Structure 1
Amino acid sequence: MITITFIDHGNHATDVEAEVGTSLMQAAANNAIDGIVAECGGCCSCATCRCYLDEEWVSKVAPAEGMEKAMLECEEDERPHARLSCQVTLTENMNGMTVYLPENQY
């Protein structure tokens, strides 16, 4: 298990434990984190699981590719380090990672 800190739009931090190998989206869902809608259930087709990685952790996460990258490029989002949480697979080296959630997903 690793620990991930989710910080909502109101700057409230919630630490959760998550299984290595699951997605960041699943970790949020398993721990009732508000702010990750994930309408498509993690199929990378809706972009309602958007989040922002803390700059310190960006290098520890594989870069966005393919469909995720295309979907993120279509978003009018000016915050750096945006990712679709369904496409981030948790690894041991992400223990302690901080993830910011948007005000809304629409």
Structure 2
Amino acid sequence: MPTIHYILKDGSTRSIDAKPGGSVMENAVRNNVRGIDAECGGSCSCATCHVYVDDAFVALLPPADDMENDLLDGVASERQPGSRLSCQITMTAELDGITVRVPETQI
């Protein structure tokens, strides 16, 4: 089972065993990871699941589509090169060990 490492706002790390095929957001919600609000439930319409993907994993992800890019332009915390919506990152064996940092605010 792949693992996701979430770096929380306080700097601590929460690691969970992820459900393959589920999104980074779904796995966070399922495991009560604080800071990923996911107000729209993963339908790519609110940007409250914004995360900063560790540089080592950015190239392994498919590029953000137009809808995700538009939402990332309006996130509450600063958009950075590794910014992604966690609802759009599907967990696979290749992403085992992915590290994402939760931003200071989602709203």
- Global fold match (TM > 0.5): yes
What 5-or-longer segments of structure 2 have no aligned partner?
none
1:57-98 Cα deviation digits (max 9, x unpaired): 101111111211111123362433111111111111100111
TM-score (norm 2): 0.93
State the identity as a percent: 42
Runs of 4+ in 1 over 2 A off after TM superposition: 73-76
1:36 aligns with 2:36: yes
Tell me how far apart the structure 1 counterparts of residues 79 and 86 of structure 2 sit (CA, whole Å). Answer: 17
Provide Cα deviations, 1:45-65, integer angstroms capped at 9, x if missing partner: 111010010001101111111
How many pairs does the alignment contain?
106
2:13 counterpart of 1:7: no
Distance change >3 Å, CA 22–CA 78, structure 1 → 2: closer
Counterparts of 1:90 and 1:69 in 2: how far apart (Å)? 20
Could you tell me which amino acid in structure 1 is paired with residue 103 of structure 2?
P
TM-score by length of 1: 0.94
SS in 2 for 1:11: coil
Comparing 19-28 and 71-80, the one that deviates more: 71-80
**2:105 paired residue number:** 104
What letter matches 1:89 in structure 2?
T
Q: Deviations over 1:11-47 (max 9, x none)?
A: 1001100111111100101111000001111111111
Q: CA RMSD in A?
A: 1.2
2:65 counterpart of 1:89? no
Specify every segment of 5 or more residues in structure 1 that has no aligned partner in the other structure, as ranges. Answer: none
